[in-house]
Structure formats: C-alpha cells, structure tokens
Structure 1
C-alpha cells in the first residue's frame, strides 16, 4: 500500500541548559533527550505511527539541538525548533498541522516557535517561562502547560502567569498541576506520560481531551489565572480508573 502524506506531526523538544554552546552529547549521555524517549514511544503507540488503515500516519519526531543551552539573546533552541518546522513543511506539506511538545527549555522554545504557520498547539512540561517572554505569537493556538507544584528548577507560578497572559492575547490556554511531581518528571512518571499522551492526541483530534481541559481552553480572555488551572488528581478522579488519565 502506498502511504499518503502524514496527516499531522508532533515535534518533541527536550530540555537543556541556560547557557552552553557545545553540542549536546549523543545517545544515552544526553539525559534531557533520554528523558523524553518514553513520551515519544507512548505517542507513537497512541498515534499508530506504523500507519492507519488508509495509509496515513502521524509523524512523531525529536528535534536535535545544535547547542546545549539557550544562550541568552541567541535563543539557540528556538532557532532549532523553527528550522525543524521549516524542514517538516518541506517534507510533509505546508498545511500539515503540528503540535509542539516541549520540556523545560524545550517548552520555552515551543512556546516562542508557536507563531509558525504549521503550529496548531503546544503542550509544555515543566516549562521555563521567563516573565518577559512574548505571548502574542500564541494567539489562535491551544496551549496546555503541565507543572509540578514541587518544581524547584522552573516556576509553576510563572507558568500560571503565562497561561493568563496568553489567554488575554488570544490563545486558548490551560494549566494542569501535578501534585508531588518533580522537574525531571521522574516522580509519578506514568502519570506524566499518560497525561501528555492524552493532551497531545486530544489536540491533534485523534483522541479526546478531558472535559475540564476543553472547558478551560474555552475560557474568555478576562478569566482569572486560577480558573484555567486544573489538578491532575481531580481530572483522574473524574475520568475514572478506565479513563485515559493514570491512576498512579
């Protein structure tokens, strides 16, 4: 069977350092990249990367950085994200819808690259959200940010502030808190993996979003930050043990 062009794509951007111009190490030595592999595997299973019955597929790819760090105004990870989006457009067509999935520095790059015409939405995990970063590029996009309340590397308060600022700028936003998690997403790892898969497939339209997430994305621009902030454990309870969200 001849394969048709991909129906959609997910670009995965791992974390990094605030500064560092050397290239990331390869393979298992690149711990931020290794950290995202379970997410990639889960997404490939969920989106049936081996092809749907009509020959279409959802591409799931990791972005390879040229440098380990963000490096101030150079914003190297952002440059790599935009280059990957441009290359994907040339390969798959300039109308292929893309969801960006980023962790930490990669989430910052995803948020800033979201103005690219291919991007439909962003899922950010433990995102790095400096208060001065712009949000106008998020207008018209779906943005769901997931943060542990115990994160000591990046600020959940800054994440909540960004979701509110982006909503006022015309984005559809939601924040989900993972109680008892950590920045590296090691604590409660199955919960992070399953929730992320649910969110990405829901935004792609190949799965369903939890109803509270859909409601939060539909909030008006004037909504208070807390109105768009959800709790993972309450979502899990509403979905039930057979739902898409995890019980661990």
Structure 2
C-alpha cells in the first residue's frame, strides 16, 4: 500500500482544496500501474485541514489515522508513506507507525529554525527512506532536506537522498525520471525487489555521496531497457 500525502500550507484551518488532492492523482495512477502485477494499492489522503498548524501537526495525525485504516481494511500489509512538500514532512514524521515499511519524501517542507528541537529522526529507524529534492526549489529549501538526511543517516543507514538538478518544487521538468525513481523505490521497499543500481548505490554510499546522488536523465528509460 502506498499512502500519498499532498502538499499544504504552514498554517490554515480551512478545508484542503480539491486541487491539492487532484494534483496527486497522476502520480498515484503511475505508481499503481508500476506495481499492478504485485498487488500494489495506492490511496491519496484527504486531510482534515489545509495547514500543518504548528505543534498540532495535523497532517501527521491524519497520516497515522490513515495507516490505522489500512490495517483495518487490508490487514497487516506494509505501507509506504509518500508525500510532497508539507506531505513529505508528514510522511517522515509519521514513519513510526507499525505498518510503515518505507518513506518517500518529495521536496519536503522543513522548518528553517526549529523552535524547540531539531526535526525528529528516531522514528525512521528500521524504515527504507528516500528523499528527493530539486536543486532549484524556491518553496522548500533543498539544503534543509540534506541536513535532515545527514541526521537520519546516522540513525538509520537505509536512508538516501537524490537531487534533481535544475528542477523546482513541483519536480515537473524531470517528471518521468522522478516517477520512475519513486516506482523503483516503492517496489523495492514493499516487495523486497532489487533496487535499480543508482538507488542501491545511494543507500550503500557513505555521506555525503549517498545524500547528494544526482538523478540521471533518462532514469526511467534505462530501467525499461
């Protein structure tokens, strides 16, 4: 099971827009097609509120509720939490749920100045973790996700991070490569399939090499051939 966690706002108690949900549907369909032969199911989470809302961290609560629902409806199946922007941070935070096997954080939104303490990483232990960030992202700072990845790698060696050079927050310029990378990671982390060589190399490499792995042009085409 993949649970997709959409982007959102730092603070808002308005209902999420339909656009934020709809924006995840092409990605959801692509992952579902990639894992169709292995019984992969993909769902997009609808948050209660649009915002993170400081210490309330509402998307994290919603992700935990969704993981509970997966267990109730499907039984004991492994889950990949996959989120973009605010959803990427929520996926990382909610990784401690017992059903979570892996986390995929795309351009995660992270605080530049933690108020009380650094973003936690202990919940990532025992999970496969992939962070992907565009180097030209003007909405969420790629350097912050690198620093988080450095700390996560110390606690959990099964952590890697890819940089998408010249791409922005939406990761549109190299969408096919990003989708192929995500699909490879999901299949490998949920179905114990071998990862593509770049992913395996990134997981095995010591920092900073495995945390600044460039996503090569044509990644998806190389896998198909």
Q: How many residues align?
A: 220
2:212 aligned residue (229, 234, 245): 229
In structure 2, the partner of 1:6 is none
Taking only aligned residues, the RMSD between alpha carbons, in angstroms, comes to 2.1
In structure 2, the partner of 1:18 is 10
Tell me which protein shows more helix as a share of its residues: 2
Deviates more, 1:155-164 or 1:13-22: 155-164
Q: How does 1:2-151 map to 2 (within 5 A)?
A: 9-26=1-18, 30=19, 32-48=20-36, 52=37, 57-93=39-75, 95-130=76-111, 132-151=118-137
Structure 1 portions without partners, runs of 5+: 1-8
Q: Cα offset for 1:234?
A: 6.7
Q: How does 1:194-213 map to 2 (within 5 A)?
A: 194-205=180-191, 207-213=193-199
Structure 2 portions without partners, runs of 5+: none
- 2:200 aligned with 1:214: yes
**Matches of 1:16 and 1:178 in 2, distance apart?**
22
In the TM superposition, structure 1's runs of 4+ consecutive aligned residues that sit over 3 Å from their partners are: none
TM-score normalised according to structure 2 size: 0.89
- 2:182 aligned with 1:190: no
2:146 aligned residue (160, 167, 170): 160
SS at match of 1:151: coil
Larger radius of gyration: 1
Contact 1:212 1:235 in 2 (8 A): no
**Matches of 2:146 and 2:127 in 1, distance apart?**
17
Q: 1:227 to 1:242 in 2, by over 3 A?
A: closer
**Matches of 2:54 and 2:224 in 1, distance apart?**
39
